[in-house]
Structure 1
Amino acid sequence: MKSGARVLMILGAVVAVLSIVVGVVLAVVGLRPATRIEAKSIPVAGPGNSVEHHFDADEKIVLYTPGTNGPYQESPPRCSITGGSVSQTATPNSSVTLSGVNQVSFAAYTIATAGTYRITCDRSGVTIAPPLSVGGILGGVGGILLAVFGGLVGLVMFVVGLVVTLARRRTPRAPGPQGFASGPVPPNRAG
């Protein structure tokens, strides 16, 4: 059984290390696009609540407005896009934090042809950003969970193996084969 406890210790260490390494890699790769959204965000804050920006062909954009998840308390802003060919797509139900403000999506578009477009909205506070990658977010969260729970499982396996190994070292060993007693032999008192 000594080897079983050692195998459990080694297996636990391997599971813990692999879970943490793979989990961290998945988390970084999965969550990196979410952090890029703020870097690529464009506030619609020019004169008349409008902005001009160059978009590439087949680029997807989402319009966000300050708010929280769930139904709007008021109607969402109305925006128009001019300057080229654009098609409205299904609006993803997503929220992001941009510049410290929680924002919810209210419209989504695909740019058909590359060019400079003007986005004009009926009120301020609108932000243009790329859509969130649901797969990336799920991969990032899955990586965090793998690192935490896989690391804990590996650690528990290692500790159990270590405890069993240490417990076996402390238990007294059974005496060897019974031999003759050494030392003075008591006299035979036959009577």
Structure 2
Amino acid sequence: MRGIGRLLFWIGGVLTVICIAGGIILAVSGFTRLAETASISHPVDGPTQIDLEAGDQMLYYVPGVIDPTTQGSTNGSGYGSDDDSDSPDYVAAGSAGCSATGPAVVEIRPGGTKHTSSSSGGTRVSDGGFTAEEAGTYTVTCSPDAGIDVVVAPPTNVGGILSGVGGVLVGVFGALGFGAVTLLGLILWLVGRDGMKKHGAL
């Protein structure tokens, strides 16, 4: 019993430390990427220049309003998708009317895959965008509908969200699970040692 307990104690302890450390690394990495993505936003008020790397994607976000045909349904859209549950569907409150120029622009037409994001207590919906095929400086110009303000930003970093939440879950549940194994091992170790003392083996 003492040998099994000692083995469980050390294995559980090592795995607990690994889960906590791995969970922290995953969470910090994911939430850092999410914060970096959220910080790359540019309100468009006249021609706006943006420095981009090859392959970067930027979307034109406008204020969103709840689609009355889906209000109260459980088939609304969320971050970067239109199949999340328990949230109403949002549609653009107006047209962004934007275009981009630069080294190599590939336009994303409005009405394609819709992305939503929440900032400053409001929900914004993408109304088109573009992909930078080459690195360089790109200029965005918008002529939105009356009363519509436009923000240019990357799509929501879903990978960052999953990594951050996954890191927290790995750290918490891994520590609880392997912590229990460590505690069990310690109990068996101590009970086995006391038993050996009583029988004069120690």
Query: Is 1:148 the counterpart of 2:172 in the alignment?
Result: yes
Q: Is 24-33 or 125-134 further displaced after alignment?
A: 125-134
Q: 2:119 aligns with which of 94, 98, 101?
A: 98
Amino acid at match of 1:119: C
Go from structure 1 to structure 2 and tell me whether the alpha carbon gap of 1:162 and 1:102 turns closer, same or farther (over 3 Å shift).
farther
Question: 1:22 Cα shift?
Answer: 0.8
Query: Is 1:121 the counterpart of 2:144 in the alignment?
Result: yes
User: What is the percent sequence identity of the aligned residues?
Assistant: 29
Q: What TM-score, normalized by structure 2, do the two folds share? A: 0.69
Query: Is 1:110 the counterpart of 2:131 in the alignment?
Result: yes
Query: Is 1:37 the counterpart of 2:34 in the alignment?
Result: no
SS in 1 for 2:117: strand
SS in 2 for 1:121: coil
Structure 2: give runs of 5+ residues left out of the alignment.
Answer: 67-77, 79-87
SS in 1 for 2:143: strand
Q: Do 1:82 and 1:119's aligned partners in 2 also have CA atoms closer than 8 Å?
A: yes
Question: 1:13 Cα shift?
Answer: 0.8
**Aligned partners of 1:109 and 1:148: how far apart in 2?**
40
**Aligned partners of 2:20 and 2:154: how far apart in 1?**
30
* 1:24-72 deviation line (CA, Å, top 9, x unaligned): 111111221211133211123x3xxx55223435431123344474322
Query: Is 1:88 the counterpart of 2:105 in the alignment?
Result: no
Q: Is 55-64 or 23-32 further displaced after alignment?
A: 55-64
Go from structure 1 to structure 2 and tell me whether the alpha carbon gap of 1:125 and 1:37 turns closer, same or farther (over 3 Å shift).
farther
Question: 1:105 Cα shift?
Answer: 3.6
Amino acid at match of 1:5: G
Query: Is 1:173 the counterpart of 2:191 in the alignment?
Result: no
Aligned residues: 171
**Aligned partners of 2:28 and 2:165: how far apart in 1?**
10
**Aligned partners of 1:126 and 1:54: how far apart in 2?**
14
* 1:128-153 deviation line (CA, Å, top 9, x unaligned): 21112323322222211111111111
The within-5 A match list for 1:55-94 is 55-56=51-52, 58-67=55-64, 69=78, 70-72=88-90, 75-84=92-101, 85-88=105-108, 92-94=113-115
Which ranges of 4 or more aligned residues in structure 1 deviate by more than 6 Å?
none
Structure 1: give runs of 5+ residues left out of the alignment.
Answer: 177-191
Q: Do 1:87 and 1:112's aligned partners in 2 also have CA atoms closer than 8 Å?
A: no
SS in 1 for 2:61: strand
**Aligned partners of 2:38 and 2:160: how far apart in 1?**
16
Q: Do 1:53 and 1:118's aligned partners in 2 also have CA atoms closer than 8 Å?
A: no
SS in 2 for 1:109: strand
